[in-house]
Structure 1
Amino acid sequence: MKYSPLLAWLVGLAPILACSTVSFADATATKSSLGIATEKPAEGPSVALEDGTFMVPYTQRIPGTDIQFEMIPVPGGAFTLGTPEDAEDFVDDEGPTIPLKVKPMWVAKTETRWDMYKEYMRMYGVFKEFESQGIRLVDESNMADAVTAPTELYDPSFTFEYGSKATQPAVTMTQYAAQQFTKWLARMTGVQYRLPTEAEWEYAARAGTTTAYSWGDDADEIEDYAWYFDNSLDGPGDVGSKKPNAFGLHDMHGNAAEWTVNEYTEDGYEWMKETNPGDATSATRWPENPYPCVARGGSWEMDPPDLRSAARLASDDEEWKSEDPNFPRSPWWFTSDPSRGVGFRLFRSLESLPDETISKFWEASSQETLDDVESRVSEGRSGYGYVDEELGEAAKQLGE
């Protein structure tokens, strides 16, 4: 397949960003105070930093909208990834256990909601309109700041069968679509939002525990903390309607399983024994293929053992896109269960990641996925949109 100049630019994005004279990390330096306070709050979660300041919760608004979400500070520390072989619910792909260090970070209080994701979905029409008007066009000079938006749903009745309320978790998006959402949001806000690694996700879910669940080993207590199969027959619940874990994070178990950036490996974490990543952000197995990749936390469609802190869900594009009438099948959407239980949550590092690193969190590393995207773009069924801090207002004006 011949690549368009845009795709060629995208494939070479990481090294280009690494050599950029004005990096995203530099451009967001003025945003570094977001979530930082000079005094410890009288109540609520906070994380003391070495310079005497404190990480605190903060609320972010999506530019051009009234839609907001809350980020919670999570302290750094050390933990053991995975499940011990002698544990009651041990599954082969959850071992061997790996000791890791974790740096402080902010984690979204809840899963990404439909009101948030629908604003990103709206960008498909916005980008098309910009293209037709000849404004905010994407070329090689600004491709590093571009994203794709998910195509319109062929049959919304499947995705929305169990609800699409603003307060429910958004689901059925692919890992690539979730990555592009975080890039879109980061470029508009100037704040480095992204998906987590598997290790970062498990650390946030455990919240300092070593038990099967963040509340302990007793699955009978799950009713208070999670939407799962026995109590969610009508679909996912409203985000944040169950008890949080000790870090103040809701729905880390159940409701929607949550994408990580990691490729799934049947032999668990054997690869980490060889690479010895040391810290959770570096504990990343970048996907070479569209699937299998890893979602964590289990969903409203699953039973308690699948909602444990260490439980892993491997994606399967053949199964999850089995009802997709398009060819090639969509790189943005799934159509078939268990995808109606798969969403994602926003993470943000205390210290901005280098451009070369953050670009890996935002862009597909699978060549097959890039080919599928390019196929849609070349056929006019999708396109790229330039994203900066003026996009929200520009998109808002289109609807006025």
Structure 2
Amino acid sequence: MRKILLSFFMLFAIMSTVFAQKLKVESFKLASNDITAQSHPRKDLNNLNCALVKVGIALDGVKFDGSIMGDPIQKLGEYWVYMPKGVSMLQVLHKNYTPLMVNFYDYDVGKVESGMTYILTLSKPSGSTEPTDAGGNFYALTVNPKNAVVTIDGNQQTVSTDGEYSAMLPYGNHTYKVEAGGYISKSGSFTISSSDMTPINVSLVSAMATVSVTCPTPAVSLYVDKKSVGTMPWTGSLKEGMHLIEAKKDGYRSQQRTINLSQQQKLDVAFNELAAIQGNLSVNYKPFGAEVYIDGNKVGQSPHVFNGIMVGSHKVEIKKDGYGTDSKTVSILEGQTASLSGVLTTNTSSSVASGASSSGNTITIPVKDGISIDMVRVEAGTFTMGATAEMKEPYDDEKPTHRVTLTNDYYIGKYEVTQALWQAVMGNNPSSFKGDNLPVEQVSWNDCQKFISQLNRITGKTFRLPTEAEWEYAARGGNKSRGYQYSGSNNLSDVAWYTDNSGYKTHTVGTKQPNELGIYDMSGNVLEWCQDWYGIYSSSSQINPTGATSGSDRVNRGGSWLYDARDSRSSYRYEIMPNCRIGSLGVRLVFSE
């Protein structure tokens, strides 16, 4: 009996020792240069990017509890845990160790921020042991396309953005199935043993049909099932079944076709030339013989009726030597004649900022070492700010729409501030992606204030950040706006570098098409700081608004190389703390005369 009791107490002592083992926090800190949370994002319930906590520990079977989004992802030697903004605690669980509660305030981190990456390093107690055989091993599966759905033994696996899947399985035979829309699925089996496993590579064969579409009218946009896919000629892949294809161009009558595709079919579709929709314009200005320009092209002299003008909004200018130029925006309707009349005044000249050269509505201001800034004039006006009808899938903070009047003309940067300009002013380049003509990034709102102060000392001008209203008015094209969803087009790839075409990096400024005012990259490339504190909208009409009176975050606008089409619309808003620096956020300048 004594032996039994002695054995019982020894077993109890051993079990107590095993289960008393604790994991230890070696360090916990913000990884400010790690953009994994942005390049491999996961959204929280507010549709913001989660914070990513990389938990470093070489231990299988670790679980996590707390305010986390979705299942953690196990990587080699670490776990990726996604958490919404504002969380400050995480519990670490393992069957061989007592639970560990990590309070972020204990390590001067506090609450985690959206889109930021943190490193939590844990260690096991010295002398701890692991089972010599876990009864299983890892499988490794690589798939193409990378977004394929993988099922192991009938269980769908956690989504992988890199096309690589791995998890621990018990010894024995297992099955897999790989599926993806537009591809022929593939199934197979594999065996798990204690020896190393050769990774299984599965490449699915496309089941998509190939369609080529042409139209003799130039620059015609193609829509497939009501979604823009680019301009013609176009060749792409479509799923089997019926599709509606449309040829569209502003000022022309659209054409539609319905096609019915089978798997791996090749089909050529040719649209007829689109018919222009036209109206007329009557111009009766004095003095007689004044030259008439429509959208920058000379069309004749006043008085005259100009027939066959495309429907839509046009800029009309009436000019004559010795007289001032009169500029009007006119709307041409189908089959109708719009009228303009007036009298030109004697010529007046306007001065440009000292030291600057002028061309049209653009001025160039020298800075130093051959570096200069091109600024575009934005005329005062009234517009509807926020989620207007053309803005598809708006977020709640873009509502309600409200009328805004800007009473003063101002100049805004033709391009985002480049690394060459930042280097010339500040003597350093903080950017992640290096290149003189790439937009500067990794600059906080506070950094931008220092940059502007130094720039003003060098140039003698008064540069500043745009207000949120000034930014959106310019992005929409000011008083030349044609009502596009993005800045300069309804076809995002024409005007922006974003997730679908950026290759996850910035690009040289001004390489896409400009908007109606001649401003580049107001959609995509990098987000741009605004002066305003971030706040909610009011439905009331406003004059020269400057945003919330206080707050914790500053507004930034315009989408970026890391953001999708929804986040590239002209009404899209985002907010970040003013001391934050990320590789997708830069700056554009304004100044007023």
Once residues 397 and 457 of structure 2 are traced to their aligned partners in structure 1, the CA distance between those partners, rounded to angstroms, is 35
In the other structure, the counterpart of 2:548 is: 285
Aligned partners of 1:112 and 1:344 also within 8 Å: yes
User: What whole-Å deviation, never above 9, does each CA across 1:267-308 have from its counterpart, x for those lacking one?
Assistant: x313x73xx6412xx33324443xx21110011111011010
In the other structure, the counterpart of 2:395 is: 91
1:284-363 equivalences in 2 (<5 Å): 284-289=547-552, 292-316=553-577, 331=579, 334=581, 339-350=582-593
Shift of 1:61: 1.5
Q: For residue 583 of structure 2, give the secondary structure of its aligned residue in structure 1.
A: helix
Q: For residue 543 of structure 2, give the secondary structure of its aligned residue in structure 1.
A: coil
In the other structure, the counterpart of 1:29 is: none
Q: Which runs of 5+ in 1 are unaligned?
A: 1-40, 123-151, 318-330, 351-400
User: What whole-Å deviation, never above 9, does each CA across 1:59-95 have from its counterpart, x for those lacking one?
Assistant: 11213x2111211112211101111489531211001
Once residues 388 and 371 of structure 2 are traced to their aligned partners in structure 1, the CA distance between those partners, rounded to angstroms, is 41
In the other structure, the counterpart of 1:174 is: 444
Aligned partners of 1:261 and 1:286 also within 8 Å: no
Cα distance, 1:316–1:189 mapped onto 2, change above 3 Å: closer
Matched, 1:114 2:419: yes
* Structure of greater relative contact order (alpha carbons < 8 Å, 6+ residues apart): 1
Shift of 1:164: 1.6
Q: For residue 462 of structure 2, give the secondary structure of its aligned residue in structure 1.
A: coil
1:1-400 equivalences in 2 (<5 Å): 52-54=348-350, 56-63=361-368, 65-84=369-388, 88-102=392-406, 103-122=408-427, 159-160=431-432, 163-207=433-477, 208-216=481-489, 218=490, 221-265=491-535, 268-270=536-538, 273=540, 277-279=542-544, 282-289=545-552, 292-316=553-577, 331=579, 334=581, 339-350=582-593
User: What whole-Å deviation, never above 9, does each CA across 1:353-399 have from its counterpart, x for those lacking one?
Assistant: xxxxxxxxxxxxxxxxxxxxxxxxxxxxxxxxxxxxxxxxxxxxxxx
Identity %: 31
The one-letter amino acid of 2:514's match is: P
Shift of 1:347: 0.6
Which structure has the highest helix share of the two?
A: 1
Aligned partners of 1:72 and 1:248 also within 8 Å: yes
The one-letter amino acid of 1:88's match is: K
Aligned partners of 2:456 and 2:462 also within 8 Å: yes
Aligned partners of 1:85 and 1:95 also within 8 Å: no
Q: For residue 183 of structure 1, give the secondary structure of its aligned residue in structure 2.
A: helix
What is the number of equivalent residue pairs in this alignment? Answer: 244
Q: For residue 204 of structure 1, give the secondary structure of its aligned residue in structure 2.
A: helix
Shift of 1:43: 6.8
Q: For residue 562 of structure 2, give the secondary structure of its aligned residue in structure 1.
A: coil
Q: For residue 70 of structure 1, give the secondary structure of its aligned residue in structure 2.
A: strand
Once residues 502 and 494 of structure 2 are traced to their aligned partners in structure 1, the CA distance between those partners, rounded to angstroms, is 13
The one-letter amino acid of 1:278's match is: I
Q: For residue 231 of structure 1, give the secondary structure of its aligned residue in structure 2.
A: coil
Shift of 1:244: 0.2
Cα distance, 1:58–1:48 mapped onto 2, change above 3 Å: farther
Shift of 1:314: 1.3
User: What whole-Å deviation, never above 9, does each CA across 1:241-264 have from its counterpart, x for those lacking one?
Assistant: 110000000001000111001111
**What's the TM-score, normalizing by structure 1?**
0.55
Cα distance, 1:287–1:113 mapped onto 2, change above 3 Å: farther
Aligned partners of 1:277 and 1:283 also within 8 Å: no
Shift of 1:234: 4.6
Cα distance, 1:85–1:269 mapped onto 2, change above 3 Å: farther
Aligned partners of 2:487 and 2:495 also within 8 Å: no
Shift of 1:237: 0.7
Aligned partners of 2:426 and 2:451 also within 8 Å: no
Q: Which has the larger radius of gyration?
A: 2
Aligned partners of 2:405 and 2:542 also within 8 Å: no
Q: For residue 392 of structure 2, give the secondary structure of its aligned residue in structure 1.
A: coil
Once residues 199 and 209 of structure 1 are traced to their aligned partners in structure 2, the CA distance between those partners, rounded to angstroms, is 18
Once residues 84 and 72 of structure 1 are traced to their aligned partners in structure 2, the CA distance between those partners, rounded to angstroms, is 25
Cα distance, 1:95–1:60 mapped onto 2, change above 3 Å: same
Q: For residue 405 of structure 2, give the secondary structure of its aligned residue in structure 1.
A: strand
Over 4 Å off, 4+ runs: 41-51
Aligned partners of 1:84 and 1:96 also within 8 Å: no
Once residues 559 and 372 of structure 2 are traced to their aligned partners in structure 1, the CA distance between those partners, rounded to angstroms, is 25
Which structure has the highest strand share of the two?
A: 2
The one-letter amino acid of 2:483's match is: T
Aligned partners of 1:95 and 1:269 also within 8 Å: yes
Aligned partners of 2:532 and 2:554 also within 8 Å: yes
Once residues 548 and 348 of structure 2 are traced to their aligned partners in structure 1, the CA distance between those partners, rounded to angstroms, is 35
Once residues 299 and 75 of structure 1 are traced to their aligned partners in structure 2, the CA distance between those partners, rounded to angstroms, is 26
Question: What's the RMSD between the two structures over aligned residues?
Answer: 3.1
Once residues 226 and 86 of structure 1 are traced to their aligned partners in structure 2, the CA distance between those partners, rounded to angstroms, is 18
Q: Which runs of 5+ in 2 are unaligned?
A: 1-292, 298-314, 318-324, 328-344, 353-360
Once residues 513 and 392 of structure 2 are traced to their aligned partners in structure 1, the CA distance between those partners, rounded to angstroms, is 25
User: What whole-Å deviation, never above 9, does each CA across 1:182-226 have from its counterpart, x for those lacking one?
Assistant: 22212221111110000000000000243422345x4xx211111
Q: For residue 171 of structure 1, give the secondary structure of its aligned residue in structure 2.
A: coil
